[in-house]
Structure 1
Amino acid sequence: MGVMTFMRTKMGYFLVGGIAVVLALFVLEPLLQQGPAIFGSSRNTVGSIDGEEVKYEEFNQKVEQSVAQFKQQYGGEINDQMKAMAIDQAWQAEVAGVLLNKEYERLGLIISGDELFDLLQGKNPSPLIMQYFGNQQTGQIDRAAVINSLKQQSKNPDLKKQWDMLQIEVEKQALQQKYASLIRNSIYVTSLEANDEYSNRNKLANFKYVNLDYSSILDKDVKITDGDYQAYYDANKKRFENPTETRTIEYVNFSIKPTAADSAAIKAQVDKLAADFRTTPNDSLFAATNSDVKVPYVYLSKGKLDPAVDSVIFNYPAGSFYGPALSGNSYKLIKVVASRFSPDSVKASHVLIDPSKIGGDVAANKLADSLKTLLQGGASMAELAAKYSVDGSKDSGGDVGTFARGAMVPEFENAAFDGKTGDIKVVKSQFGIHVLKIDKQVGNAKVAKLAYIEKSLAPSSKTRDVAYKKASSFLNEVKGDNFNSLAQKNGYTVGVADRVGATQGYAAGLDNPRELIKEAYAADKGEVLPQVYTMDNGFVVARLTEVKPKGQLSLEDVKKQIQPMVMNAVKAKMLTEKLNKALAGSPNIEAVAQKVGKTAAPVQNMVFANPIIPGLAQENKVVGTVFGSAVGKLSKPIEGDKGVYVVVAEGFTNPAPLGNTFKQKETMMLGITQRSLGAAFQALQDKSEIKDNRVKFY
């Protein structure tokens, strides 16, 4: 597509493109969930990053750009979860932008004028310039197009604005690359480290073990004391640092699934609709009027419909009728209006004429016919497009690229796919009058024009009313301390959405819970949330049961969570005592095994870097003990993840000496570098105060 076309359609997403670079560079997904959910801040402040306030108006523009990109990527519609992801992506970019810019300034990193010139139009173009001005087949940049577009800035204020945005993003990307290079160049692997890593991945150990599984002791036979909880908590405190505030919600979902009566009523409606559909004189209008899902009345290729329908409908001849057939959660009724073979894709060019600029449709059509005649006589499309076209593609000879069905407006698409290579057509669309040239057609597959009706199995208004009345009644009656008992009394199931973040677009068992989550973050622990929430599959009444703040969680916060681990720790003490008795006076592993009623199990060719005991589990402590043992010496009991073990090393096989230390270092440095980039960014966050107040706005 032309320069102006890409500018108009894609430049709005350059900021998002910058996000992608930062995310790829620093692996931010697990790192940027920072800041408590609610802070005393002005109504217009979404948050603050290292002392810099993030204002709603500016941030929301970036959110809209991110949402628009998601919509473009996922076909025009996104759900609440994807919207939350888009908002989070915009926030992550905001955090990255502020912190990295400060770090660049501290380090003295800049992009000079000469560097920027080279990135925009020199011998070392930015990947962004390559993306929009490069030839995908040759990998070469069209410098003439770049320079021509730059020259046009003085005559086109919109183009200048887009170039200004592009230049900012090119500079950002170049700074990111410089910073990444700085980090990479600080990494070094010693020869000793290289040899240790090589040995860990290639040295083999043969050993035998005896294990007593934690499951060999029934939970009912174990008594856990407060001291046991405290000991486990103290030994594992670092595991209980909460990177961001989370909340736990319990809820009752009053289902609005269709009843048997609803399904019967819909089936009767569909049967009548099918009878009328068979005899209607206007298939497309009837389908458009009666279908819950709108399918364009154009030729479709295989792969665009529900799989159950798609697998059979393209075998039907024109004039056939399909359905009513229940597939998924809806009935399908289809008339095959026409079918034929058609190209898979088309490469085309055009001149777009705007009738409003040359005196109306009559004048536009007259000009289009004249241009068609010139083209048929051998005139240059590029020259005519440059002179007459109002579309941005005029800067690339009128080329609109190669496209499949569904990429263009129907009038343009039909003309391109219904003709043949070399055809020149005049086409009217919502954008104006096109003089279209079919440059190339690729492939050949069967396509069908369908009149398509889909009727969903939806609950009736009566079913919805009944469910809502139940939910409202429960909300009016429930109190904070009787939520579970009242639900149990009425036969309702209580669900739990655990550790829900302030900006999440999803929660366990809930379809579109953003409003519920927002109000949960405005509530106090134990409160019933103030309204009945409408989900895709029901009405929900909810209560906030737990608040886990950012930072070090208390024992009380994690007590329920760690109960299984504490149980195993207590069992480990009991099993360790049993194995210590068995070890006393035992000359070998077989004697230990005999005393505890087990068989010593052999393991061959274990490597330190892959500590999985066949048939059991990954046991890091156990395998680590083996590689630190002397051959033939019985170990003390080892508390593993699956049980308690005693091991004896039977022998080791050392690998051949490392032949290429440089290659080993290079491999290690690659992995360390990738981790260090993320670690560097994490360090920037750790020393910065980040307040995230998005939950009040989104």
Structure 2
Amino acid sequence: ALRNIKKFKGEQRESINNEVINPLKLTTIVAKYSSLLSAAAYYPKWMQEKETADNKNFAEISYVAIPYSEISDSAVKVTNADIDTYVKKHKDLFKQEAGRMISFVSFSQLPSQEDSNRVKLLVEGIKTSFATDTNTQAFVARNTSIIDFQDTYLPKAKIQSSQTDTIAKLPVGTVYGPYVDGGAYVVAKMLGSKQLPDSVAARHILIPTVNPQTGEAINADSTAKRLADSIFNAIKGGADFAALALKYSSDGSKDKGGDLGTFGYGAMVPEFNDFTFSKPVGSREVVKTQFGYHVIEITNQKDFNPAYKIAFVAKEITSSDLTVNSASLQATKASNVKNAAEFAKYTATNGLQLTQNPTALKENDFSVGSLQDARSLVRWAFDAKKGEVSEPFSIGDEFVVAVVDKVLQEGVQDAETAKTGAEAIIRKEKKAAMIKTKLGASPTLEAAAAAYGKQVAQAGADSSITFSTAIINGVGDEPKMLGAAFNKAYQAKPTVPFAGKNAVYVLKVNSIKTKPADAPEMLAQQRSNRISALRSQTNNWFEGLRKQADIKDKRSKIF
């Protein structure tokens, strides 16, 4: 396909460059750069030896854990000043992009019950004439049905209707409905039934008119048809089908004499499918499809079941102008409110559901909560001030009126915004300080346990505590505790109380031992695994470049 690009000129050539060639070039460059970084992953032998030696050590410990839950949250007060101080000390943890917090009300444009009744009456009105009209195909077209007429017999499984079982029992000529199906009122007319096979075996010879991959013409239609007719006549005269398939067919089945094997209903293109399922075994025909002309012979059919020809007239249940205008009027009234306080009062007074979007909108967002394709609303929010009320936006099946609750500037979060994340951390720090004060500066394990009615616990007897341990049995993820477990100074005396993720701990090292060395082949496998892990980490290079790049994202001004 790429070789054919030179044939295109002007805007068509430019379009292909923009949509295919340039993205392909960029993808190739990124792949090369990523491969370069991956190949550069290096794991020195000394580092492996050090890590291997460290991981051969295992510790056995005794400890006391005082969970933070020993102190109730209500006993620890966290002020805005505490949060502000914490955020200033840990700015990197509370960085934020520019964003907007909004609330909105929506007014449905979906069809009302009156709209539904209107469409039902319309469909009921054509039921009698549908039953008596002798040109069903023309009747369906004349009544602008959203379900096209299919002049074919279909097995039950292929009939797309919620009422197939009921319709299949109708006498020929009977009209059923109206009934609701897929947002439309439908009437169905039984035109006939017959037995059709569940599967068919056939062989064919394809004389193509177009290349299915590129769409380029291969043979003129008249040329292809003339050749197909000649082959068909030769076969009728006794010529060998398989030999002609091998010589003339462009399909991959030619090496098997044109044999397609067994296939189910709908597996082939419609014209091919209709012929092979509606005609008896032994039938031959020249059939035209989107690929060209097929000389087809049906070789087998099996598992016959009922199939039905059914005509449908379906009318979509749509909203009337009255319904849409009513929703628009309600939205306009809501948008006439001047500010956020009045907007909240208006929605409450009128029984409207005010939805607060749970997350901050980003400048390039396309959706707002459950509202899809809400780009116009997002753009408005970033141009508006805090407390500003929007004009109505038509989004999907709703009119939406929004208000800006908060403007988030790029940089560090203020205390109010950071409260959710910072409050729990500060409360935990305050609890840790309170527990440490009660335990004293250097308590024994027994004294620490007695202070809170706890027991001295043991861990590591199963050799499970090593430098590479992620979870300590009975404790969880506690990196500080793991580090203390390999400090030989704590064999002589316990640690001072220290704050972990889940509790305040006092720990004493009972022993630090070493496991036997690994076999050389295991060391080689460990080295291979480590290099693979390092290479996988290079996949994060793009995010690193993005953070370092001095680029202003202005897509929101265009899209």
Distance 1:509 1:365, change over 3 A: closer
Which of the two has greater helix per residue?
1
Aligned twin of 1:30: none
Aligned twin of 1:350: 206
- Rounded to whole Å, the distance in 1 between the matches of 2:528 and 2:299 is 47
Query: How many Å apart are 1:507 and its aligned residue?
Result: 2.6
Give the residue type in structure 1 aligned to 2:103.
Answer: E
Query: How many Å apart are 1:538 and its aligned residue?
Result: 1.8
Give the residue type in structure 2 aligned to 1:491.
Answer: G
User: SS at 1:472's partner residue?
Assistant: helix
Q: Is residue 349–residue 438 contact of structure 1 (8 Å, CA) maintained in 2?
A: no
Give the residue type in structure 1 aligned to 2:208.
Answer: L
Are positions 1:507 and 2:360 aligned together? no
- Rounded to whole Å, the distance in 1 between the matches of 2:366 and 2:468 is 38
From 531, 535, 541, give the equivalent of 1:669: 531
From 289, 294, 298, give the equivalent of 1:435: 294
From 436, 442, 460, give the equivalent of 1:580: 436
1:272-327 Cα deviation digits (max 9, x unpaired): 88898788767777777576567977677898788x959x8699679799987778
Aligned twin of 1:384: 248
Are positions 1:182 and 2:36 aligned together? yes
- Rounded to whole Å, the distance in 1 between the matches of 2:344 and 2:17 is 42
Q: Is residue 346–residue 417 contact of structure 1 (8 Å, CA) maintained in 2?
A: no
Query: How many Å apart are 1:540 and its aligned residue?
Result: 0.6
Are positions 1:569 and 2:431 aligned together? no
User: SS at 1:477's partner residue?
Assistant: coil
Are positions 1:250 and 2:103 aligned together? yes
Distance 1:512 1:555, change over 3 A: closer
Aligned twin of 1:488: 348
Q: Is residue 626–residue 648 contact of structure 1 (8 Å, CA) maintained in 2?
A: yes
User: SS at 1:500's partner residue?
Assistant: coil
User: SS at 1:510's partner residue?
Assistant: coil
Distance 1:427 1:563, change over 3 A: same
From 319, 330, 333, give the equivalent of 1:473: 333
Q: Is residue 298–residue 410 contact of structure 1 (8 Å, CA) maintained in 2?
A: no
Distance 1:323 1:615, change over 3 A: farther
- Rounded to whole Å, the distance in 1 between the matches of 2:147 and 2:510 is 69
Q: Is residue 145–residue 313 contact of structure 2 (8 Å, CA) maintained in 1?
A: yes
Aligned twin of 1:534: 394
Query: How many Å apart are 1:534 and its aligned residue?
Result: 1.9
Query: How many Å apart are 1:471 and its aligned residue?
Result: 0.8
- Rounded to whole Å, the distance in 2 between the matches of 1:7 and 1:301 is 45
- Rounded to whole Å, the distance in 2 between the matches of 1:202 and 1:344 is 69
Q: Is residue 350–residue 436 contact of structure 1 (8 Å, CA) maintained in 2?
A: yes
1:202-241 aligned within 5 A: 208-213=63-68, 216-218=71-73, 222-226=77-81, 228-241=82-95
1:129-167 Cα deviation digits (max 9, x unpaired): xxxxxxxxxxxxxxxxxxxxxxxxxxxxxxxxxxxxxxx
- Rounded to whole Å, the distance in 2 between the matches of 1:204 and 1:441 is 74
- Normalising by structure 2, we get a TM-score of 0.70
From 649, 654, 658, give the equivalent of 2:518: 658
Gapped runs of 5+ residues in structure 2? 211-216
- Rounded to whole Å, the distance in 1 between the matches of 2:99 and 2:373 is 18
- Rounded to whole Å, the distance in 1 between the matches of 2:126 and 2:132 is 10
Are positions 1:555 and 2:413 aligned together? yes
Query: How many Å apart are 1:673 and its aligned residue?
Result: 0.8
Query: How many Å apart are 1:466 and its aligned residue?
Result: 2.5
1:51-90 aligned within 5 A: none
User: SS at 1:564's partner residue?
Assistant: helix
Q: Is residue 250–residue 495 contact of structure 1 (8 Å, CA) maintained in 2?
A: yes
RMSD: 5.6
Higher-Rg member (1/2): 2
User: SS at 1:541's partner residue?
Assistant: strand
- Rounded to whole Å, the distance in 1 between the matches of 2:534 and 2:69 is 37
- Rounded to whole Å, the distance in 1 between the matches of 2:128 and 2:294 is 43
Aligned twin of 1:44: none
- Rounded to whole Å, the distance in 2 between the matches of 1:610 and 1:303 is 56
1:617-628 aligned within 5 A: 618-623=477-482, 625-626=484-485
Query: How many Å apart are 1:448 and its aligned residue?
Result: 5.7
Aligned twin of 2:230: 370
Query: How many Å apart are 1:237 and its aligned residue?
Result: 2.5
Distance 1:616 1:519, change over 3 A: farther
Q: Is residue 212–residue 575 contact of structure 1 (8 Å, CA) maintained in 2?
A: no
Q: Is residue 253–residue 538 contact of structure 1 (8 Å, CA) maintained in 2?
A: yes
Query: How many Å apart are 1:510 and its aligned residue?
Result: 1.0
- Normalising by structure 1, we get a TM-score of 0.58
Query: How many Å apart are 1:245 and its aligned residue?
Result: 4.7
Q: Is residue 572–residue 644 contact of structure 1 (8 Å, CA) maintained in 2?
A: no
Q: Is residue 534–residue 540 contact of structure 1 (8 Å, CA) maintained in 2?
A: yes
Aligned twin of 1:595: 451
Distance 1:488 1:667, change over 3 A: same
Give the residue type in structure 1 aligned to 2:531.
Answer: M
Distance 1:607 1:461, change over 3 A: farther
User: SS at 2:361's partner residue?
Assistant: strand
Percent identical residues: 21
- Rounded to whole Å, the distance in 2 between the matches of 1:202 and 1:276 is 90
